[in-house]
């Protein structure tokens, strides 16, 4: 597969400048390729009564420093209302329903590649937008496809599966062709202040807060029992089902119990009706394993999706090794996925993302599990 890059020919690209190294190097590389480059810094969170205000201010300062160094203009825009309405309220609703959402995926869909793209197109008259994501684009006769990033450890196609081929066609991903260490080397060579800045973690645009405290601000905690899957014995108390996810083994506070072996405890279920957290010992416990899943809210990058039945691969969480599977359609909106081998800790509410080799086909939301 030969990748193609759009002809720069002085076309205008608006780069999402986050104050991090990836967007910094993206802007530099696009300038080197002959594009007319400007930056755009997004403010998407208004709760500035915490240390996160300092972090956001530092990010803007770093983004401005990089743009000054490169000699490009930096615009700013506030998408806080869009973020609250389209990302954060969904995030809270899913947690309240006992599911485990991925806000980064919704953020990419609603903010970075929708609100940002529309602003760049309509207000800043851009030909393209660019982000510091580790993915690649491939232009073919059938439209623009999205490929995994070259750096397998940093590949972010899992978080971008909701993009359409039209959105991918309007987007450039310069660092997707590079390994992370190459990106940092370029930034250092260019004297960019972000060359050794650590990668951001935490909730998209909200940052590195203590998650349980942050969530409790918006959803009141409801403590309940921790119960064993095999005997139904109550062995502890949880502070809220929303703080736990399937497959979790840390932070349960139930180690060293009498009459139990030394195997670690894992969350295997959340009983919403009784507000009970169900746990079992061993990472291969039958309650933790599934042979398949039903996936809904389907989105395909090419808007068509794979023919079915067909054998492809899937990821049910970020950085997971590809799982070989067979997919069939129950109907237009539901996909039945059967794994070649049982998989642990498949989690409703999370995204299942499908691949055909290097090509990210799209995906959907895990609705329920198939066992046995």
Edge-to-edge order in the sheet of strand 276-281: 234-238, 224-228, 276-281, 265-271
Q: What is the Cα–Cα distance from 167 to 248, expressed in whole angstroms?
A: 35
How buried is residue 326: exposed, middle or buried, by Cβ count under 10 Å (0-12/13-18/19+)? middle
User: Annotated catalytic, 107?
Assistant: yes
The catalytic position among 54, 67, 107, 368 is 107
User: Annotated catalytic, 325?
Assistant: no
Picking from 105, 82, 85, 84, the residue whose alpha carbon sits closest to that of residue 349 is 105
353 token code pair: 């993302």
Q: Are strands 128-130 and 171-172 parallel, antiparallel or unpaired?
A: parallel
Within 13 Å, how many C-alpha atoms sit on residue 190's CB side?
A: 27
Angle at 148 between CA 144 and CA 152, to 5 degrees: 165
Residue ranges in the chain assigned as alpha helix (H): 21-33, 52-70, 80-83, 89-96, 103-107, 116-122, 165-169, 180-189, 211-218
Asked if 148 contacts 136 with a C-beta cutoff of 8 angstroms, the reply is yes
Q: What is the Cα–Cα distance from 251 to 253, expressed in whole angstroms?
A: 6
Q: Element (H or E) spanning 129, and its range?
A: strand 128-130
DSSP string, 15-55: EE--SSHHHHHHHHHHHHHT-EEEEEEEE-----SSTHHHH
Asked if 83 contacts 111 with a C-beta cutoff of 8 angstroms, the reply is yes
The catalytic position among 204, 325, 360, 368 is 204
Q: Which residues contact 162 (CB under 8 A, 6 or more apart)?
A: 105, 106, 108, 109, 299, 362, 363
Active site residues: 107, 204
């Amino acid at each position: 597969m030969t990748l193609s890059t759009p002809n720069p020919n002085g076309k205008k690209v608006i780069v999402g400048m986050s104050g991090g190294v990836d967007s910094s190097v993206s802007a530099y590389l696009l300038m080197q390729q002959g594009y007319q480059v400007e930056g755009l810094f997004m403010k998407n969170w208004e709760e500035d009564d915490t240390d996160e205000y300092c972090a956001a201010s530092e990010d803007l300062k770093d983004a401005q420093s990089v743009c000054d160094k490169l000699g490009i203009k930096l615009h700013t825009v506030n998408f806080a209302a869009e973020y609250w309405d389209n990302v954060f309220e969904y995030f809270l609703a899913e947690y309240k329903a006992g599911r485990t959402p991925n806000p980064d995926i919704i953020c990419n869909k609603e903010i970075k590649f929708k609100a940002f793209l529309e602003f760049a197109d309509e207000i800043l008259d851009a030909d393209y937008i660019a982000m510091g994501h580790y993915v690649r684009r491939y232009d073919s006769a059938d439209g623009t496809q999205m490929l995994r990033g070259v750096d397998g450890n940093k590949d972010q196609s899992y978080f971008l599966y909701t993009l359409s081929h039209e959105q991918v066609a309007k987007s450039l991903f310069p660092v997707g062709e590079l390994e992370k260490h190459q990106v940092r080397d370029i930034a250092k060579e260019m004297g960019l202040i972000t060359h050794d800045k650590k990668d951001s973690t935490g909730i998209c645009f909200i940052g590195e807060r203590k998650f349980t405290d942050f969530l409790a601000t918006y959803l009141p905690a409801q403590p309940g029992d921790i119960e064993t899957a095999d005997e139904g014995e109550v062995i502890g108390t949880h502070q809220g089902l929303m703080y736990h996810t399937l497959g979790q083994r840390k932070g349960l506070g139930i180690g060293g119990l009498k009459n139990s072996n030394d195997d670690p405890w894992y969350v295997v279920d959340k009983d919403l009706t009784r507000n009970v957290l169900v746990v079992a010992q061993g990472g291969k416990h039958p309650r933790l394993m599934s042979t398949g899943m039903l996936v809904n809210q389907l989105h395909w990058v090419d808007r068509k999706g794979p023919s079915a039945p067909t054998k492809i691969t899937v990821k049910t969480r970020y950085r997971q090794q590809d799982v070989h599977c067979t997919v069939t359609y129950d109907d237009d909106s539901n996909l039945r996925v059967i794994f070649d081998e049982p998989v642990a800790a498949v989690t409703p509410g999370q995204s299942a993302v499908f691949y055909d080799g290097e090509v990210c086909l799209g995906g959907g939301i895990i609705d329920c599990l198939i066992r046995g």
